[in-house]
Amino acid sequence: MYVEDYVSNLSRTKISMSIPMWDLHLLNIRTSKAESVGILRVHHSIGDGVSLMSLFMSCSRKVSDPDALPTLPASKKQKPCSSSGGFLQRFIRLFSVLLIYWNTFVDAVMFLITILFLDDTKTPLKGPSGVGSTPRRIVHRIVSLDDVKLVKNAMNATINDVMVGVTQAALSRYLNRKYGKNKKGGGGAAGNSNLPKNIRLRATSFVNLRPYLGNEVISETMKSSSDVKLGNLIGYVLFPFTIALREDALDYVRSAKATGKRKKATLEAIYTYFMAKTLNKFFGAKWGSFPNQTTLLFSNVPGPQEEITCFGHQVAYVAPTCYGQSNVSIDYLMSTGINDSCCELCQ
C-alpha cells in the first residue's frame, strides 16, 4: 500500500523542466514480490513503450550469462509473396489487399467521426473532461503466463486475444454490479444482467510502428545505422470492447480474437500516426493527442524473455504504465520470462 501511495503521489507532480526529463526513485521497502522497488519516471516525449523498454534492456544483463544482453522478441518478418501460383491463389491475394484498403477506409472514417462527435456511452468507467490532470491510482497484478498460454493454445489465439478477453469479462462484471446497485432497493441479483443495451465502449489501443530493437546495444546500433529511430513512433486503433454477460467465459476470448483479426487487416495505425503528426504540427498538441472520446487506453509492451539483472541487482518484475492521458482507466500488459509471469496494470 505504501508503494501504491508513493506512485500515486508522483502522478500529482510534473517533472521539472530544469532537469533531464526523467527521475529515479529507490524505495528500500520489502514487498510480497521483491526485496525493494525502483520507480523510473520518464517523460513520454523521450520515447514510447518499445523505445524505452529497449533502452532499459540495454542496461540489463541475463542472469544466466552476466555478459549477455537480454533478448527482446523481434517482429516477425512476413515472407514475400511469390508471383507464381494458380488463379485461386492470385485471387485470394488480390482479395486480401482490397480487404485491407476497405478496412482502412472504414476505420479512417470512424476515427474522424469519433474525433468530431461520436463519444462512448456514459458509464461509471467514462471519465469527465480534464480527468488527465487528476491523480491516478496505479495498481499492478502478476498472473501466470502459463495459464494465459494454456487458454491461448486451446483457442488457437494470441496472448493479446486472451488478455483482451479477460479485460472484457472483468469490465462486464464490474459494470453489471455497478448498474445493479443503482437500481431501486439495491437492484439486480448477482446472476441477472443489469447492463443497458448497446453499450459503446472502446479502447484506444497503441500499435508499435517500428521493428523491435532487439538485444543489440542501442548506442552502438545508433552509431552504425541511421535507420534506428527512438522517440515516439506509435499509431493507435479504436478497439471496440464487447460488454455483456456470457454463460461461456471463452466467448470473451472468441470475441477479442475476431476483433483483433479484423484490426490486423487494416492500416489504421499508420493513418492515425500521420494524422496525429499533421494535427500536432498545424493545430498544436491538444488536437494531435490521443482521442478522449474513448473509455480507456489499452496497450502492451514486450519484455525480456529470460530473467535479468540491472546493475548487478536481479529484477523480480517490470511493471510499465503511464499517466496524464484523458482516460480514467489505462490497462498496460507486459509478458516476460521473469518468474514466468505476465504483468497486468490498471489505473
- How far apart are alpha carbons 119 and 141 in whole angstroms? 30
Which residues, including other chains, have CB under 8 Å from residue 62's CB and lie 6 or more apart? Answer: 68, 69, 70, 306, 307, 308, 309
* Residue 43 is among the residues annotated as catalytic for this protein: no
Give how far Cα 9 sits from Cα of 5, 45, 138, 307, Å: 6, 21, 10, 30
Given 43, 44, 140, 313, which residue is catalytic?
44
C-beta separation of 238 from 266 below 8 A: no
Cβ neighbours of 287 (radius 10 Å): 14
DSSP line for 237-285: EEEEE-----SSTHHHHHHHHHHHHHHHT--HHHHHHHHHHHHHHHH-H
| Residues known to be catalytic | 44
